[in-house]
Amino acid sequence: MIIHVVSKGETLWQLASRYNVNINSIVQLNELPNANQLVVGQSLVIPKPGTSHVIKYGETLWSIAQQYGVTINAIIQANQLTNPNLLYPGTSLFIPAITHVVQSGETLAQIASRYGTTVQAISSENQIANPNLISIGMQLVIPRKKPIIEVNAYTYQSDEAGAQTVNELGQLLTYFSPFAYKILEDGSLSPIKDTLMIEAARAKKAVPMMSLTNFTATHAGSNEAHVILSSPDIREKIITNIIQVMDSKGYKGINIDFENVLPGDRELYNQFLQQVVNALHPKGYFVSTALAPKTSATQSGLLYEAHDYAAHGRIADFIVLMTYEWGYRLGPPQAISPITEMRKVVEYALTVMPAQKLFLGFQIYARDWLLPHVKGQEAETFSPQEAVRRAVKYGAAIQYDPTTQSPFFRYTDEQGRGHEVWFEDARSAQAKFDLVKQYNLRGVSYWALGYPYPQNWALLTDNFTIKKLS
């Protein structure tokens, strides 16, 4: 697929003509509410076969062409390169699709074998209903082999709304995590309504993963964590209650998200994790944790100190890195998930645990801050789709910060108040997917479902094959 950034005066009709695609396919893929309303700086996903490649140091057009099985000329033409010898590391190239023209006597099985793919993959890519019916001269797009990753998504939607979302997106998920069962000081768990969501997940072959936490949106949970972690009896009771919920509800694993744990409780938290693993593994359940975005072992602060990356990497089956919330709802306006900071977290994590244990956290919401920002004033949170709608409504040109790889814009509302919006678009999604591929991470974990973001899901399937567990 191609990511196109709208310039002044461009129309959807012009783009469809330029890329030789159906205008409705652009509208549907990006879920545009009005095909006649585009805004400068808006990114669009164009459904044209191909892929993107981020140039690395030392690469040449010849080496890139060899890697993807296309000609140097094809890359030059697709990217309108004026000087093929000038390649800048970090910039993205569009790699056109491999195509094959059907010859007399060829079958789809023979073509698939020649290119090292499958009949099913070619049929799906070219929307061929009957693989036995292909004609001479037909031009087929040959799908490239994609990295296989696992995908998790949390949600704090209601049971009904969550089930509806899973029905729409569950085919793209390996795991699904309703958020969250809260631990109480007596060792009991505050329940959530999750029956419909779990049923929907299982129907879509997404593994239900129980989520356990110590905090709420209004309560840090430090004291609860301390009381629980420091009492062997309460810890045993919690584990008993976890198993009871998992057995009765159909969860296959657990994600433990203890936040704001007191620094002095770090070792107790590690011991509790090991205790959970010792109890759940014999029953066939897996154990994962969610970790605050640390960039070093010595990082100070309540969010970080009790999160022992090395210990979690050793004890848990996999880790979700919570690589988001730099643009905090109560803080000043800034990128919510700056790629520069995400990269630092990943690179530190890789010093103490293997890449195949790591999920990159990916936030899928936007924030709107009032200007000037007043300390403690809460930003409004909504979907990336709503962010673009507001940019269109107020005629605000969308800008893109190349350092954080994040889109933003400013506007003035009807009351004359200034606003600054940071959100996610196709470019920022691709930057995160490139990070996953660069470091060969296990997968992506979304926080949180319920915010429409169609470009992300289109690019996810364009970049990766989603692993489904038996």
DSSP 309-344: HHHHHHHSSEEEE----SS-TTS-S--SS-HHHHHH
| Tokens found for residue 228 | 């629980």
| Tokens found for residue 59 | 């690469």
CA angle, residues 318, 320, 323, in degrees to nearest 5:
150
Question: Is residue 365 classed as helix, strand or coil in its secondary structure?
Answer: coil
Query: How many CB atoms are located within 10 Å of the residue 385 CB?
Result: 19
| Tokens found for residue 211 | 């989520």
Phi, psi values for residue 5, rounded to 5°: -105, 125
Secondary structure of 394-426 in HEC code, one letter for each residue: CCCCCEEECCCCEEEEEEECCCCCEEEEECCCH
The DSSP letter of residue 266 is H
Q: Which residues contact 121 (CB under 8 A, 6 or more apart)?
A: 112, 143
Q: Do 384 and 425 meet the contact criterion of CB atoms below 8 Å apart?
A: yes
User: Which member of 150, 224, 259, 424 is catalytic?
Assistant: 259
CA angle, residues 289, 293, 296, in degrees to nearest 5:
110
Q: How far apart are the first and last CA of the chain?
A: 30
Q: Do 382 and 33 meet the contact criterion of CB atoms below 8 Å apart?
A: no
Catalytic (active site) residue 378? no
| Tokens found for residue 31 | 């879920």
Q: Which residues contact 378 (CB under 8 A, 6 or more apart)?
A: 329, 330
Here the contacts of 6-11 (C-beta below 8 Å, separation 24 or greater) are 6/38, 6/39, 6/40, 6/41, 6/42, 6/43, 6/44, 7/40, 8/40, 10/38, 11/36, 11/38
Distance CA 351, CA 278 (A): 25
Cα Rg, the chain, nearest whole Å: 24
By C-alpha distance, which of 366, 343, 384, 365 is closest to 45? 384
Known catalytic residues?
Answer: 259
